[in-house]
Structure 1
């Protein structure tokens, strides 16, 4: 044990630690202490950083999107979506934007072709239709 400690000290003496390395080591130590405190206090159960991801997250996203397509939250949105699906084109964003709270507008995500809502005044976005 003493031999290993002496070798470690000798290695540290040979390679002076830069200020950046020392700062990163201190940061990692603080993160580990915070993690231990979160676990000990029980707060980790409510923190997403400690919840293991089970299975493939992509499958859960696909299931949620499929469920959302089956059950639109607002009847006017359901009518607009069904008419857009019938035409197999992009949805009528002007129709989907009707009745939204001030600042909100409907958009289409180009990668998924799904409708989302954005508020340019508050710099917010949502997959779910905002209510007044």
Structure 2
């Protein structure tokens, strides 16, 4: 059966099979509450206190962060871990894997609240969008 799946083994592996450019189906093959530790995910170097920030700044700063993230996805795959300061984040590049993740989350998910982003959007009288909810 074709589809997108995350196989959580000792070392994470990702397989994506698509028909053309659109995934045929998605599945996350891990029982709830089980998987591998966050530390097992690949990613850029993490420095104490600063995380991966020096690497991001070296590659062009925050204005070129989108290019840096694209490079990391080419280098580390569809899923990688990154730390900026105190924030640990997991970056997922496959829409079908995001869909599978969202389908498995609880009825009341808790996401990171970034108050400066909310204040900025409020100041400009703009909506929060999906990432800031």
TM-score (norm 1): 0.20
Higher helix share: 1
Larger radius of gyration: 1
> Which one has a larger percent strand, Structure 1 or Structure 2?
2
Q: Whose relative contact order is higher, 1 or 2, with alpha carbons under 8 Å and at least 6 apart? A: 2
TM-score by length of 2: 0.20
